[in-house]
């Protein structure tokens, strides 16, 4: 590889090395918004975003409680900006509180245009999950 090729590669690597879009939270899901996820107006359907957020929070809740759980509440859901087909969607989760059987998890969603570099926060909400035993009853979260 000559010097020019090495410089081009370094610049391209820098361009694609975008990672975190906010300092706090764990990146749980990064995915691409697809045409199948649109509403009748052609933007991404809010219900699809909510399901991705629920999946992300549920994944964190499962790791915290070492077992199954269920969403018992979703609070303060805000849709700040539309998400477009092709956007790279990144879901951050932050564990806010662990109770006797419940976990409160803040979720932020960022979107980056497919051919752009600047990502924006598009949605956030707080999810409450309850750890469940095999019969579906609340289970005490013992080992954290
Ligand atoms: C989850 C479920 C078993 C909880 O049953 P419950 O009788 O409400 O249980 P409890 O009253 O003991 O509450 C359990 C915990 O959840 C918390 N909680 C219950 N309802 C809540 C609400 N609306 N908001 C915030 N926290 C809530 C309680 O404070 C408690 O927390 P703690 O143990 O950490 O103090 C029951 O509500 C359920 O099965 N819901 C359906 C879950 C589901 O199907 N989710 C998917 C929806 S698509």
Span 93-107, pLDDT tens digits: 999 999 999 999 999
pLDDT at residue 17 is higher than 80: no
| Confidence at residue 19, expressed as pLDDT on a 0 to 100 scale | 79
46 lines ligand 1 (CB under 6 A): no
C-beta of 98 in contact with ligand 1 (< 6 A): no
* Per-residue pLDDT reduced to its tens digit, 74-97: 999 999 999 999 999 999 999 999
Among 17-21, 85-89, 130-134, where is mean pLDDT lowest? Answer: 17-21
**pLDDT for the residue 14:** 81
Nearest to 91, CA basis, from 10, 13, 2, 22: 22
CA distance 140 to 127: 18
Q: Which of 74, 126, 130 to mutate to test the pocket of ligand 1 (most atoms within 8 A of CB)?
A: 130
Provide the percentage of residues in the chain whose pLDDT is more than 90. 88
Pick the residue whose CA is nearest to atom 37 on ligand 1.
72
Q: Are 101 and 141 in contact (CB under 8 A)?
A: yes
CATH topology of domain 21-131: Thiol Ester Dehydrase; Chain A (3.10.129)
Which of 53, 54, 72 has most ligand 1 atoms within 8 Å of its beta carbon, as the pocket-test mutant? 72
pTM: 0.93
């Amino acid at each position: 590889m000559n010097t020019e090729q090495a410089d081009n590669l370094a610049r391209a690597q820098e361009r694609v090395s975008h990672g975190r879009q906010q300092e706090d939270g764990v990146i749980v899901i990064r995915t691409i918004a697809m045409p199948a996820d649109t509403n009748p107006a052609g933007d991404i359907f809010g219900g699809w975003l909510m399901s991705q957020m629920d999946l992300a929070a549920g994944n964190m809740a499962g790791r915290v409680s070492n077992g199954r759980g269920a969403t018992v509440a979703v609070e303060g859901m805000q849709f700040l900006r539309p998400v477009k087909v092709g956007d790279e969607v990144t879901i951050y989760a932050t564990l806010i509180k662990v109770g006797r059987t419940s976990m409160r998890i803040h979720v932020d969603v960022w979107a980056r245009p497919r051919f752009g570099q600047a990502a924006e926060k598009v949605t956030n909400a707080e999810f409450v999950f309850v750890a469940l035993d095999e019969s579906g009853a609340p289970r005490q979260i013992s080992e954290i």
